[in-house]
Amino acid sequence: MTITFEIVVDCTDPTALGRFWAAALGYVESPVPQGYDNWEQYDSEHGVEPNAGWECVDPEGRKPNLFFQRVPEGKSVKNRWHLDLKVDNVADEVKRLTALGAHTLATREQWTVMCDPEGNEFCVAAAD
């Protein structure tokens, strides 16, 4: 049995949050389908509301795609699960992510708890 998957994130601004995570993870925006100049043209011709969704992909094709979909409600409680970003230098990565719009929530000995621009928690930890 073969299973493929993507990670879907509910949010209020799919394009902004998607661009944050693309920059954070080294992803790129999903390619526009053949025959279209851009996603706005594709969405318009297919009756998709502007900024209803945004997808990014691993340029090497090894990691799951991320799809950000607009929902009417905002985040109200702590995440039930989150990403741990494993990096060589936690302090440098925290600075880089802060410049992209993340915020530090707590600092521990071996990791830092952060949140993205919409308040979704994630951790930055030293690579093994």
pLDDT for res 92: 96
CATH for 13: 3.30.720.120
Q: Which residues span the domain enclosing 44?
A: 1-74
Residues 16 and 60 in one domain: yes
Q: Are strands 65-70 and 111-115 parallel, antiparallel or unpaired?
A: unpaired
Q: What is the percent of the chain with per-residue pLDDT over 90, rounded to a whole number? A: 85
Closest CA to 115 of 97, 128, 102: 102
Mean per-residue pLDDT for 21-29? Answer: 97
pLDDT for 11: 96
Q: Within this chain, do residues 89 and 63 fall inside the same structural domain, yes or no?
A: no
Which stretches of the chain are DSSP H helices? 14-25, 39-45, 90-100
Among 74, 91, 107, the domain boundary falls at 74
Q: How confident is the model at residue 32 (pLDDT cuts 50, 70, 90)?
A: very high
* Residue-level pLDDT at 23: 98
* pLDDT score for 93: 96
Q: Model confidence over 54-104: pLDDT tens digits?
A: 999 999 999 999 999 999 988 888 888 999 999 999 999 999 999 999 999
Tell me how many domains the chain contains. Answer: 2
Q: Are residues 15 and 56 in the same domain?
A: yes
Last residue of a domain, one of 32, 50, 74: 74
Are residue 5 and residue 60 in the same domain, yes or no? yes
For residues 20 and 103, the answer to whether their CB atoms sit within 8 Å is no
